[in-house]
Amino acid sequence: MSINLGIDKYLTMSKKLLLLLFGTCVSWSLAIGQDNVKVPTAVHCVALNIYYETSAKSKAESMAVTDVVMNRVKDKKYPNNPCDVIKQARLYKSGEPIPNKCQFSWFCDGKPDVPFDNKVWQRSVEFAYEYVVKGRYHGLTEGATHYHATYVRPHWARAYKRVAVIGRHIFYKPVD
């Protein structure tokens, strides 16, 4: 899916990043699944996931993690936009996520979800923009909907087909 906002040729990357980070009143929409998600919101959510899942250490690993999020967006079993996929969790009656009961562990680890390393955050936003807005690297994981760090062995992994190891993550897709 390639999205052309029609303004790319007029903006430098730094201006695009400023718009994405601070442009909450920007009215561009990006059709993802059945919802229209504001581009800055979608990019922001994906950038947070890249930041906390990969520390933006490798473009390949960052794009693979993002590809899993977007593969879930396309799958009817999951929410139909990246922010809701990333924030999917079991919740207390109060609406707060139950610790360690989230699809992406960083979201409910009890720590603030505010990036503190500006250099890593900037790379995370750049990678998210490249995937979400520019439409690059889609399909990198061949349909994977799950992944985990190489240092853990989750029980659910046996029920899925292993697709790849990229960086510090192992990627899986449903068995056909």
**Per-domain boundaries in the chain:** 8-141
Could you give phi then psi for residue 52, rounded to 5 degrees? -85, -25
pLDDT level of residue 33 (50, 70, 90 thresholds): very low
pLDDT over 80 at 24, yes or no? no
> pLDDT of 119-160, one tens digit each?
999 999 999 999 999 999 999 999 999 999 999 999 999 999
> What is the mean pLDDT of the segment spanning 101-130?
92
Predicted structure pTM score: 0.78
Distance, in Å, from the CA atom of 70 to the CA atom of 93, rounded to the nearest integer, reads 28
Q: Are strands 169-174 and 160-166 parallel, antiparallel or unpaired?
A: antiparallel
Distance, in Å, from the CA atom of 55 to the CA atom of 92, rounded to the nearest integer, reads 29
Across the strands, what pairs with 30?
37
Determine contact, residues 52/65, Cβ cutoff 8 Å.
no
Give the percent of the chain with pLDDT over 90.
Answer: 67
Which residues have C-beta within 8 Å of that of residue 57, sequence separation ≥ 6? 167
> What is the mean pLDDT of the segment spanning 13-36?
43
